[in-house]
Amino acid sequence: MTSYSWAERRGKNFSLEVTLRSINSKYLEIFTNLPGEKIFLEELIKKEIKKRFNRGRIDIYFSLHCQPKQRLIIDEGLLSQYYSQIQKIARKFKMSQENSVKNLFLLPGLIQLEAKKYIDNRLILSAFKEGLTKLIAFKEKEGALIKKAMIKHLKSIKDNMRKIRMTKVPLALEESTKDIEEEITLILFYINKLQKLVSTKKESFKGKAIDFLTQEILRELNAASSKTKIKRISWWLVETKSFLERIREQAQNIE
pLDDT in tens, 165-193: 888 766 555 554 567 888 999 999 999 99
Confidence (pTM): 0.58
Share of the chain above pLDDT 90, in %: 32
The domain made up of 3-68+117-132 is a member of CATH 1.10.3470: no
Give the domain ranges of the chain.
Answer: 3-68+117-132, 70-116, 144-251
**The pLDDT of residue 144 is above 70:** yes
DSSP collapsed to 3 states, the chain: CCEEEEEEEECCCEEEEEEEEEECCCCEEEEECCCHHHHHHHHHHHHHHHHHCCCEEEEEEEEEEECCEEEEEECHHHHHHHHHHHHHHHHHCCCCCCCCHHHHCCCCCCEEEEEECCCCHHHHHHHHHHHHHHHHHHHHHHHHHHHHHHHHHHHHHHHHHHHHHHCCCCHHHHCCCCCCHHHHHHHHHHHHHHHHHHHCCCCCCCHHHHHHHHHHHHHHHHHHHHHCCCHHHHHHHHHHHHHHHHHHHHHCCCC
How much is the average pLDDT of 122-128? 90
pLDDT value for 173: 58
**The pLDDT of residue 80 is above 70:** yes
pLDDT value for 217: 94
pLDDT value for 102: 66
